[in-house]
Chain A
Amino acid sequence: MENLGNLLDGFGHVLTPMNLLIALLGVTIGTAVGVLPGIGPAMTVALLLPVAYGMGPTSALIMFCGIFYGGMYGGSTTSILLNTPGESSSVVTAIEGNKMAKAGRAAQALATAAIGSFVAGTIATLLLVLVAPPVVKFAVSLGSPEYLAVMLLAFVAVTAVLGASRVRGFASLLLGLIIGVIGVDQTGQQRLTFGIPQLIDGIDVVVVAVGIFAMGEALWIAAHLRRKSGEVIPVGQPWMGREDWKRSWKPWLRGTAFGFPFGAVPAGGAEIPTFLSYITEKKLSKHKAEFGKGAIEGVAGPEAANNASAAGTLVPMLALGLPTNATAAVMLAAFEQFGIQPGPLLFEQESTLVWTLIASLFIGNLLLLVLNLPLAPAWARLLRIPRPYLYAGIIFFASMGAYAVNAQPFDLFLLLALGLLGFGMRRFGLPILPLIVGIILGPRAELHGRRALQLSGGELHGLIGGWVSWVIYAAIAVVLLWPLIGRFVVRPLRGRLVTG
């Protein structure tokens, strides 16, 4: 009940005109970037990090969470109306959603996606309220060896479970960890600075995030720019009839049940639960023949799963300081920017901030529903933006943000180098997420590892710690020795979707 009180306090803090305005700004930007091709919530949060300095932590994080949730809503609009899902998590939505749109049922597809997202987002945020405090209670009892183990698990999980190729994932992770090493270490030794004074403080996470996400993405898209944009299906006001409601509400709930746990465990991701939800709905539906031709259940379920998983990722992010998707990783960078130490102590030390943030998620979700249902046609118009302006704008804001961090042109050269790295990674199919997670968690993992060894006086057994770390290392072993999860679960699902 204490949590409920905290949550109500949080609502009290968020229901000020200023914070409401910022939440509205966040969800608006989020929806816009979700709709726009080539720019997603992670990139947007990265681009806004330097700007957010002036806003104060609470406002900035309310805005970022709004962008995070908003991006999900906007993304579904694009995949339904354009059939070119920008992220793997909305691939499934595009399958049935676009078919529905082509059959003249775009309004219903958008409506079930938006309302389903609202339902799933609200339930999942409630689950977050219930689940996070016990996780925190457990986590504060852990010592350095256990934290090291948890972080290693996060590394292995984002690298080995998500993404198609493990070796490419590990290459990306190691590059991230190495970038994290650059700078002065805790003993005052310079590592990988090569005598460059600007590198002594390390490379600012903002520059890395903007470089890899914004510059890398803009350059990569520029190299392959589609000269002819896809056809946007015109749409009116989203609405649903009685029959649509009847067919949607169960998939929403089931999708939520799939999405939240997958989001909450490190590296569950949104891809698997959306596939699972799709398969389940197909199996349970009374309208099996409609699947593949535009079944509303195939939009309702996966969209709910997608949003519930997004809320789920906030559990490890807030309770443990572990990022499990790109946006969460960049948001953790924001915490660190404001001098807030993410981790289990967050709930204790920044109680007001955390609960205000969680309350803002409920508000944001409601705002998103209001923003998306009546305004869908307006959002769809965003897809007509001339691409040269869009990508020139991304490069423009990337430069501005990277320069603003330290007010030195050196960072711009660094930004370009990182952008080219991001370009190369996209070209060769190296996933981006492990690199970002490596940069954010790497220094903390080293800190905990060294602290653990310090306690044991340098004896290696100090790295292992108690039974909790044994369990975690067992989990790591399972993940590592079971490359077949991807082969036997994700790919067949994908295969069934393609053929079915």
Chain B
Amino acid sequence: MTDRTTRPDRGGDQPPRPAASIVPDQAAPPDRETGGLPPAPAPVADPPAADPAGQPAGSAVPPAGDLPDGDGSAAESPAPKRDRAQYGMCAFLALVGGLVIFDATTRVGQAINSADPIGPKPVPILLGVLLLIVAAIYAVDVARGGAGEAEAGEDVDLSTRIDWRTVLLLIGAFLVNAVLIDRLGWVISGTILFWGSAYALGNRHYFRNLLISVALSLITFYAFAIGLGVSLPAGVLQGIL
């Protein structure tokens, strides 16, 4: 229904990448991917963090794209079917709430300062409890047929299902950059990032994109790192650039 001139091969094909390792952190907030990570955590460390409650938001989300009304837009579906993936979001909120309470009650120490009568604990506990309550109300709302309006936008076509292939390819390109940036330097990793993202988004002008990527990385490196003093690594090209 849409013209896919630049991407004849797309369509409902399954994500070719090992999706499972990445999808579960779907809606992971920063504080969840933390369970015992090494100081320089790799994305691989996310999935373990996703299992504390067994059923965090993420694992419930992927099917969303496959549901008939998967995008929660319900806008034009005549008989709005319940968007069950929302329960995943509720579970995720409850999980975060629980985690915050757990952290505040077990890990945070007592206030040492007597001038501060309430100390560091009550605020996170309050927030955690409120989040649990909100998660419960949210779940009730979903059970009664409530559905959030998925965000619209100029380039957003909510009548299509979530295109996981593109999303996962983008995440892949992003992770490659994150892993390589310190080793190879911004110019190389940034090139890979832009080229990979353009590829993921369906552009197939490989060579032209390569030129654009290299140019963009070089320009940003010289303008921001050298010109404005923004810290970007030169990596293996140290001394050449």
List the interface of chain A (C-beta within 8 A of B): 37-38, 50-51, 53-55, 78, 82, 84-86, 164-165, 167-168, 170-171, 174-175, 177-179, 181-182, 185-199, 203, 215, 217-230, 386-389, 391-393, 395-397, 399-400, 403-404, 407, 409-410, 412-414, 416-418, 420-421, 423-430, 446, 449-450, 453-454, 457-458
Inter-chain CB contacts under 8 Å: number: 314
Q: In whole angstroms, how far apart are the Cα atoms of A248 and B119 in the complex? A: 58
Contacting pair A178 B131 (CB below 8 A): yes
Q: Is the contact region of chain A dominated by helix, strand, or loop, or is it mixed? A: helix
Can you name 17 extra interface pairs (CB under 8 A) apart from A174-B127, A409-B179, A418-B29? A54-B230, A164-B148, A167-B138, A174-B131, A174-B134, A179-B29, A190-B108, A191-B104, A192-B31, A225-B201, A227-B7, A393-B194, A404-B231, A413-B42, A414-B30, A429-B150, A430-B89
What's the least CB distance linking A305 to chain B, in Å?
21
**Hey, which chain B residues are within 8 Å of A221, CB to CB?**
153, 155-156
Question: With A174-B130, A409-B182 known to touch, is A168 a contact of B153 (CB < 8 Å)?
Answer: no
* B13 close to A (CB within 8 Å): no
Chain A residues with CB below 8 A from B64, complex form: 427
Query: A74 to chain B: closest CB distance in Å?
Result: 12
Q: In the complex, A408→B230 CA distance in Å?
A: 13
- Rounded to whole angstroms, the CA-CA distance of A389 and B111 in the bound complex is 51
In the assembly, what is the distance between CA of A211 and CA of B201, in Å?
Answer: 19
Using Cβ atoms and an 8 Å threshold, which residues of chain B touch A457?
117
B211 within 8 A of A: no
User: Known interface pairs A178-B131, A424-B61. Does A429 touch B148 (Cβ–Cβ under 8 Å)?
Assistant: yes
Choose among B31, B117, B174, B220 the residue that contacts A416 (Cβ–Cβ < 8 A): B174
Q: In whole angstroms, how far apart are the Cα atoms of A400 and B197 in the complex?
A: 14
Q: How large is the interface on B (under 10, 10 to 19, 20 to 34, 35 or more residues)?
A: 35 or more
Across-interface contacts of A425 in B (CB, < 8 A): 27
The answer, yes or no, to whether B68 is at the interface (CB within 8 Å) is no
Least distance between B180 CB and chain A CB atoms (Å)? 9
Give the CA-CA distance A417 to B175 in the complex, in Å. 11
Q: How far is the CA of A200 from the CA of B14 in the complex (A)?
A: 40
6 A-B residue contacts at CB 8 Å?
A53-B229, A187-B112, A222-B201, A396-B194, A421-B29, A450-B118
With CB as the reference atom, state the residue of chain B lying closest to A87: B153
Q: How far is the CA of A196 from the CA of B32 in the complex (A)?
A: 12
Contact A220 B156 (CB under 8 A): yes
Closest CB in chain B relative to A383 CB, distance in Å: 9
Residue in chain A with minimal CB distance to B90: A171
B224 at the interface (CB under 8 A from A): yes
- Complex CA distance for A79 and B62, rounded to whole angstroms: 33
A334 to chain B, nearest CB (A): 15
In the assembled complex, the CB of B127 is this many whole angstroms from the nearest CB of chain A, namely: 5
| CB closest chain-A residue, reference B37 | A196
Is B71 in contact with A224, judged by CB distance below 8 angstroms? yes
Contacts A174-B127, A222-B170, A418-B30; A167 near B151 (Cβ below 8 A): no
B3 at interface, CB cutoff 8 A: yes
Contact B72 A429 (CB under 8 A): yes
Q: How far is the CB of B148 from chain A (nearest CB, A)?
A: 2
Please determine whether A427 and B150 come into contact, CB atoms closer than 8 angstroms. yes
Within the complex, the shortest CB–CB distance from B218 to chain A, in Å, comes to 13
Bound-state Cα–Cα, A221 to B167, Å: 9
Mask, B175-206, CB within 8 Å of A = 1, is 10111011000100010011001101111000
Please judge, given known A-B contacts A196-B39, A226-B156, whether A417 and B30 are in contact too, CB under 8 Å: yes
Given A219-B167, A416-B175, A388:B116 Cβ within 8 A: no
